[in-house]
């Protein structure tokens, strides 16, 4: 009898919050609520990947996330394409503390949000941990490019074809020191450790993260995208 009561109470304690949530009578704090708009400033948790994925399905929620987080990024008009390279829900990407160079590349809204999360919660903390200072600039090699994977004539379109990817060649620290993937990935010093931490951090917010460990074409850059295919190397 007692056992049945305990089981019943356990079930109730699990179901009651779910019932209250569905009925709208109770909500957890926004950062734990899968349906609340993502705030880029919140410390990431296990709900974050779900919230990031939702932004891809719901453009309005994506732009709300940018706005709510105080990130001023200029929204661009959609552009249809006959060649499989449409621009939909795009913005000009602005860095946070780290400026992008060249500045203002065109990216999808979900990629912009992932970038903001990456910079704030992974890149800058990694630089502070390894060098005691932040990153002031990021060297980017491009975002939007109407092409197939690996520039092949045949095959599937790259995530770059819809501005859903960014290639990163290196970083400049606050004191002006430059760190590049080509030169510093294979070292034993803090530069290599920093680049590995940056890669691992990127995997928390992007889908495919491809760097020098992936293959030779990526020996000089990180490819970061928000496509369907997940890979962290
Ligand atoms: Zn790329």
Do 124 and 21 belong to one domain? no
Query: Measured between alpha carbons, how far is 127 from 134 in angstroms, rounded to an integer?
Result: 5
Do 44 and 116 belong to one domain? yes
Asked if residue 16 has pLDDT above 80, the reply is no
Q: Are 184 and 192 in contact (CB under 8 A)?
A: yes
Do 20 and 86 belong to one domain? no
Give the model's confidence band at 28: pLDDT under 50 very low, under 70 low, under 90 confident, else very high.
confident
Residues with Cβ < 8 Å from 135, sequence gap 6 or more?
97, 98, 119, 123, 124, 127, 171, 172, 173, 174
- pLDDT (tens digit, 9 = 90+) per residue, 128-180? 999 999 999 999 999 999 999 988 998 899 999 999 999 999 999 999 999 99
Query: Measured between alpha carbons, how far is 41 from 206 in angstroms, rounded to an integer?
Result: 17
Centre of ligand 1 to C-alpha 160, Å, is 6
Residue 2 vs residue 144, higher pLDDT: 144
Centre of ligand 1 to C-alpha 42, Å, is 28
Asked if residue 188 has pLDDT above 80, the reply is yes
Do 207 and 152 belong to one domain? yes
The pLDDT value given to residue 7: 82
Do 26 and 89 belong to one domain? no
Overall number of domains in the chain: 2
Do 26 and 80 belong to one domain? no
Query: Measured between alpha carbons, how far is 69 from 219 in angstroms, rounded to an integer?
Result: 34
What range defines the domain where residue 165 resides?
34-232
Query: Measured between alpha carbons, how far is 169 from 150 in angstroms, rounded to an integer?
Result: 17
Centre of ligand 1 to C-alpha 108, Å, is 14
Centre of ligand 1 to C-alpha 229, Å, is 13
Do 174 and 115 belong to one domain? yes
Query: Measured between alpha carbons, how far is 182 from 169 in angstroms, rounded to an integer?
Result: 8
């Amino acid at each position: 009898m007692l056992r049945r009561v305990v089981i019943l109470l356990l079930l109730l304690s699990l179901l009651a919050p779910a019932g209250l949530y569905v009925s709208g009578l109770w909500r957890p704090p926004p950062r734990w609520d899968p349906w609340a708009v993502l705030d880029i400033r919140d410390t990431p948790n296990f709900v974050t990947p779900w919230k990031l994925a939702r932004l891809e399905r719901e453009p309005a929620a994506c732009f709300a996330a940018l706005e709510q987080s105080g990130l001023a990024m200029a929204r661009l008009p959609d552009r249809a394409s006959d060649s499989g390279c449409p621009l939909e829900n795009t913005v000009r990407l602005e860095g946070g503390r780290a400026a992008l160079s060249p500045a203002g590349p065109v990216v999808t809204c979900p990629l912009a949000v992932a970038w903001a999360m990456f910079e704030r919660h992974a890149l800058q903390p990694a630089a502070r941990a390894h060098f005691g200072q932040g990153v002031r600039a990021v060297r980017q090699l491009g975002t939007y490019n109407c092409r197939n994977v690996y520039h092949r004539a045949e095959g599937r379109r790259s995530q770059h074809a819809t501005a859903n990817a960014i290639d990163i060649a290196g970083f400049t620290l606050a004191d002006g020191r430059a760190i590049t993937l080509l030169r510093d990935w294979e070292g034993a010093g803090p530069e290599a450790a920093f680049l590995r931490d940056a890669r691992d951090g990127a995997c928390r917010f992007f889908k495919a993260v491809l760097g020098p460990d992936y293959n030779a074409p990526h020996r000089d850059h990180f490819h970061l995208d928000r496509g369907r295919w997940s890979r962290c190397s």
